[in-house]
Structure 1
């Protein structure tokens, strides 16, 4: 895998994109803090970008499945550059409306870029290397988040906001340049529009057989062409792949933690009367997340993907319950460390399962759908966390989230065990 040039280009692109994105985010927050006194107005500005990304999700999925994925990555990368130009105009005219346009165009570009990138990954490596690449890919994004926020904070002390956006623009130019060297061995695009997945080319020229012997016998394989069906084609596919629905539900468990992450950090700091604990919590979570990414290859040989996903989700639930003792610094740090390890293992495993179970002809639409779902659920969790923190406080809230997470894990684990038992019984006849 490490001799594959495409792998290095994808990882470098994710790292560079992350640096640019997080520098932009820190700069945006600083700009809003100077120009927008109302917290509600700040949330509306952020929500405008999110809504634009959700609305363009269906179009993004259809385009990714019927167009060269490299072309989609290049055009969406160019869209990032255009969005930063809008921010330069916002700074020049001291206008918040140009910043809204920046947020909208950036999120629209992201709606195309990230699902396309998820669709590219299974095309550039062999199936047995997917989990390892997903883990390292997620680590590249995490390291970029840590370095991007740190660098942006330091840069704000020595330069203006305009200088920070210039740095972000340079990062996006480097991303666009690196993407131009990507060589994606895509199957014939006309055939990709059809329902039959067929043999997908992998580096080395050997055909990769479809997962679980899917070769036209799957109900989803009879779906209409991609350009006609859009997200509707996913319905029979999801019905025929209950394991995918199970993992989508399980993703709610770490999202309950992530959605209220910043709010919980602030409340823990207030509970312990210690401002420095915020930095410690972020550091412990980030280091644990990265460590899990490096261990993901070792975990690949120990148990099936579903077993590990249930284990990681259960650990996240335990980490949530442990925050009931958030007034203790040791318990708070242990909770965030456990979450980092579990989330760092959960998300690469989930991405690998999706890439294997979903036919490649549907990857664009599926990952666009998942991106939309993640954005909506994240906002719901964020609002719910804020309300619960106001009404019942941090310690009772995390207990509610923890119990809910354990219930979700238990229900779907029992359902999965019954399904496996039924399949074995049918196979024995």
Structure 2
């Protein structure tokens, strides 16, 4: 796998773009703190961009299955660059409106880029290398997050907010250039032969497909548990900083969580070969729910950092495993629509959790909020765990190409 030129292009492109992305995210939080006092209003602004991504997901899925994934990624990367121009206007005029335009534009680009990337990975590497590639890709994303957040923190001290977004703009430009270097012959061979049929294919075909692949359905359901944590991640970090009266805790939380994520993603291949994947996913999501509950004591710095570290370690196992399940169990001709459907589901959940987080922070407060989310997570795990115990499916033959073709 490591001799594959495309693998290095994807990983290096993700590192560069990820640094730009997280530099921009820290800039978003700084801009919101300066111009929007209410946590709920902050969540509404972030919600607007996510909603745009949800609305365009069905179209994105059909386009990814109909055309070259490389070309979709190129156009999406160009869209990312254009979106940053709106943020320059927001800074110039101190306008929340232009920031909303930025959020919409960048989420529209992401709605095309990330499903196309997930659909391209099984084309770039063989099935035996998918778990390792997913772990490496997510580790690169985490390294970019650590560097990006640290760089943004330093830049905010010495330079203007404008410079953060200029760095994002340059990073997205480098990502665009790196995408042009991809040579994906298999992708080009597949696309012309199916383009006509796929244009007429319905996005709704994903749901009956999932019913025929129960392990993928269970992985999709369990993905909702980490989303309860991730949806309010940034707002929780701000709240913990306020709770402890310590601005430096924000950078420490991102760093600890990111380093632990990388460790989990590094170990995932060794561990996953020795355990039942479905049972392991239930264990991981239970750990995530418990860490959410433990944030009730977030006024203690060591406990807050430990909770985020354990969470990072757990999802470092969880996301590479689920990504590999989706890439191997879902037929390739449905990858564009499936990953767009998954992205849409993630965005809807992210929106709900984001709005709920902002609302709870303004009403019941941080500590009671984490109890509510933790109890909901444990209840979901118990419910679906009991269903799985009654009707296990791990050892059943999984339908793939044949099942999908009959839909």
TM-score range, shorter chain: 0.7 to 0.9
Counterparts in 2 of 1:6 and 1:263: CA distance versus 1, 3 Å: same
Deviation, 1:285, is 1.5
Counterparts in 2 of 1:361 and 1:337: CA distance versus 1, 3 Å: same
Partner of 2:383: 411
The answer to which of 269-278 and 357-366 deviates more is 269-278
Q: Contact (CA 8 Å) 2:58, 2:341: kept in 1 or not? A: yes
Q: Any gaps of 5 or more consecutive residues in structure 2?
A: 398-407
Partner of 2:176: 176
Partner of 1:398: 370
Counterparts in 2 of 1:409 and 1:272: CA distance versus 1, 3 Å: same
Counterparts in 2 of 1:255 and 1:241: CA distance versus 1, 3 Å: same
Partner of 1:64: 64
**Structure 1 CA distance, aligned partners of 2:34 and 2:241?**
25
Asked if 1:74 is matched to 2:74, the reply is yes
Asked if 1:357 is matched to 2:359, the reply is no
The answer to which of 158-167 and 132-141 deviates more is 158-167
Partner of 2:8: 8
Q: Contact (CA 8 Å) 1:61, 1:230: kept in 2 or not? A: no
Q: Any gaps of 5 or more consecutive residues in structure 1?
A: 195-224
Partner SS, residue 117 of structure 2: helix
Q: Contact (CA 8 Å) 1:226, 1:233: kept in 2 or not? A: no
| Equivalent runs, 1:27-426 vs 2, <5 Å | 27-34=27-34, 42-91=42-91, 96-184=96-184, 185-186=186-187, 187-192=189-194, 225-269=197-241, 271-272=243-244, 276-420=248-392
**Structure 2 CA distance, aligned partners of 1:174 and 1:422?**
43
Q: Contact (CA 8 Å) 2:39, 2:362: kept in 1 or not? A: no
Deviation, 1:33, is 4.9
Q: Contact (CA 8 Å) 2:284, 2:315: kept in 1 or not? A: yes
Partner of 2:402: none
Counterparts in 2 of 1:52 and 1:385: CA distance versus 1, 3 Å: closer
Counterparts in 2 of 1:128 and 1:173: CA distance versus 1, 3 Å: same
Counterparts in 2 of 1:272 and 1:173: CA distance versus 1, 3 Å: closer
Partner of 1:218: none
Deviation, 1:171, is 1.0
**Structure 2 CA distance, aligned partners of 1:101 and 1:333?**
34
Deviation, 1:42, is 4.6
Higher relative contact order (CA 8 A, sep 6+): 2
**Structure 2 CA distance, aligned partners of 1:252 and 1:383?**
16
Partner of 1:212: none
**Structure 2 CA distance, aligned partners of 1:107 and 1:424?**
38
**Structure 2 CA distance, aligned partners of 1:40 and 1:319?**
24
Counterparts in 2 of 1:287 and 1:421: CA distance versus 1, 3 Å: closer
Q: Contact (CA 8 Å) 2:66, 2:195: kept in 1 or not? A: yes
The answer to which of 101-110 and 58-67 deviates more is 101-110
CA deviation profile, 1:331-381 (whole Å, cap 9, x unmatched) = 333322211111111111111111111111111111111111111111211
**Structure 2 CA distance, aligned partners of 1:47 and 1:271?**
24
Counterparts in 2 of 1:165 and 1:319: CA distance versus 1, 3 Å: closer
Q: Contact (CA 8 Å) 2:43, 2:354: kept in 1 or not? A: no
Partner of 2:404: none
**Structure 2 CA distance, aligned partners of 1:227 and 1:30?**
42
- Give the aligned CA root-mean-square deviation in angstroms: 2.7
Deviation, 1:328, is 4.1
**Structure 1 CA distance, aligned partners of 2:396 and 2:155?**
59
Task: Tell me the matched-pair count.
Answer: 395
Which of the pair has more CA radius of gyration?
1
Deviation, 1:71, is 0.6
